[in-house]
Amino acid sequence: MKLTGAEIVCESLLKEGVEVVFGLPGGAVLPLYGALSRYPQLRHILVRHEQAAAMAADGYARSTGKVGVCVATSGPGATNLVTGIATAQMDSIPIVAITGQVPRPAIGRDAFQECDVTGITLPITKHNYLVMDVADLAATIKEAFHIARTGRPGPVLVDIPKDVLQGERAEFVWPEAVNLPWYNPPTDAAPDQVAKAAKLINQAERPVVLAGHGVLISHAYEELRQLAEKAQIPVITTLLGISSFPTDHYLNVGMPGMHGMAYASLAIDRADVVIALGMRFDDRVTGRLRDFAPNAKVVHVDIDPSELGKNVKPHAPVLGDVKCVLRQLLPLVHRKVRVEWLRSVDTLRSEHPSLNIRETEALLPQFVLRQLSQITEGKAIIVTGVGQHQMWAAQHYGFKDPNTLITSGGLGAMGFEVPAALGAQVGCPDRTVWSIAGDGGFQMTMCDLATAVENNIPVKFAIINNGTLGMVRQWQDIFYNKDYCATVYSANPDFVKLADAFGIPGIRVTDKSQVASAIQQAMATPGPVVVDFVVKQDENVYPMIPAGESVREMMEEPSPAELRHER
């Protein structure tokens, strides 16, 4: 039987095992919605803004490892996806975005709600398609999912003109395999590359592992733990690598870089071999490149050949999937006892504590994150936005389980936390999901609280509310002569009343003594809850290595004397 394009899309999604789609309809994509209503197996979650559809698909993909799917209409619907697609591209997240397009005869005529979305998303997708023939639709969707999830994952967009979705029909033929003979993402690395890496590791006296997102994407946490324990190598995790190694493991040295733990950055500085696993030497990690790991030989394992040598020239580049490479590497790496090196890392830790929270009456944001960590026993899925609260969450939450920090690392998209948390909760209905927002980011996407309510998605929404764009204010404080231009929010809404308007409970916390009970109350309440933590406004994130500088320019927490004027 011949199917319409819209039906073929639905059948293809079922073939791909899709269970949920995040979207918002409009004219050009309406035929697809006409078909969706006849496919109850495909749960559609209606968002309030398409950016939330893309970011929810992203959060779903990060929390489940499956491909996230979002749908939007042509023109503004598609352009509203863009920030979410760019987020997924920067952080290597597999999502498939399906957009309606104006009918084929109207393309290129500046039709109503026409927009060249394949052109716009060219540099922010792993690949994209404009499907001009209904007969190509099934194979294209299969290819899109394959490309999104394999190799270094990434977003793929499929743009479908309205008259391809409806009108013409075609047989639904689901290809057995994709026809991409030259697309062969690496798995195992070349043995000589692995041997060279093993030799460097075995010769090392002061090695560190720099574990990135690739460890989580390839599910290599067990192999990483084996490597670290066998060769007694301290493990430093990048922002997106957090939770790839247990936080409380004696070899875990935390996060390095701009707002990382001082001892992690200093350990890299002292190391003689850096073993970089599935990470891309982002500037937030390295600071000034020529001063990064100045004493170290670099082993760099990555699945993307363009990352090897892009920022840091490795002495031993290893092209391959992190899990495969670690399995190759483990038998070649010698068992070691490194009393001296581990002791000196411990000394760095005690001399540069980085995570102490000072005694004060004020409600410190760090204190909130630490309490949340204790009450949830480090087992919640934490979804953050971007800025100070993100860094405090990365620093103070004790992630117990792999893959439990979901954050916009590369693009740094504020507003990510609300929709991505919805997606993560939909993907993991049995887990506790906390969205950690700043008051700035929260106001970018808070309209999608309605999506949480409508679909009974029980995310707990924490707002670390300092009434300012905190991280921007921090830069103004330190680098722009305390000129707080355009960073203070003097007329924030009452977030408790706002929660009430959405029909969900809101709790306001203004004092330290209320923090624990508010968190417990939120967790005990079924469904979504908003908790507004009104924290000290002028708290800065430390340590801090200024952009473009090195560990030698690191600023650590000011002394109590310097903070004497504290209210």
* Binding footprint of other proteins on the chain (CB under 8 A): 118-119, 122-123, 126-127, 130, 147, 151, 180, 182-186, 190, 193, 283, 287-290, 292, 303-306, 308-314, 317, 319, 546-549
Long-range (24+ apart) CB contacts under 8 A made by 338-347 are: 338/205, 338/231, 338/232, 338/233, 341/205, 341/206, 341/207, 341/232, 341/234, 342/232, 342/234, 342/251, 344/206, 344/270, 345/234, 345/253, 345/263, 345/267
Annotated catalytic residue, options 113, 226, 232, 514: 113
Q: Which is nearer to other proteins, 193 or 492 (CB)?
A: 193
Q: CA nearest 417: which of 396, 444, 453?
A: 444
* Dihedral sign (CA 532, 538, 539, 544): positive
Minimum CB–partner distance for residue 71 and other proteins (Å): 22
Q: Which is nearer to other proteins, 126 or 370 (CB)?
A: 126
Q: Which is nearer to other proteins, 122 or 563 (CB)?
A: 122
Per the structure block, which two tokens stand in for 488?
């203070």
Q: Which is nearer to other proteins, 146 or 536 (CB)?
A: 146
Minimum CB–partner distance for residue 36 and other proteins (Å): 28
113 is catalytic: yes
471 is catalytic: yes
Compute the distance between CA of residue 165 and CA of residue 318 in angstroms, rounded to an integer: 44
112 is catalytic: yes
Annotated catalytic residue, options 2, 112, 168, 479: 112
Long-range (24+ apart) CB contacts under 8 A made by 107-115 are: 107/161, 112/27, 112/75, 113/26, 113/27, 113/28, 113/73, 113/74, 113/75, 113/76, 113/77, 114/74, 114/75, 115/74, 115/75, 115/76, 115/78, 115/79
Is the previous residue joined to 543 through a cis bond, with omega within 30 degrees of 0?
yes
Q: Which is nearer to other proteins, 26 or 314 (CB)?
A: 314
199 is catalytic: no
* Dihedral sign (CA 385, 386, 387, 388): positive
Minimum CB–partner distance for residue 99 and other proteins (Å): 15
Minimum CB–partner distance for residue 143 and other proteins (Å): 8
Annotated catalytic residue, options 11, 16, 50, 539: 50
Contact 159, 101 (CB under 8 A): yes
Q: Which is nearer to other proteins, 295 or 347 (CB)?
A: 295
Q: Position of tokens 């204790």?
A: 374
Annotated catalytic residue, options 471, 474, 533, 554: 471
Which are the catalytic amino acids?
50, 112-113, 162, 471
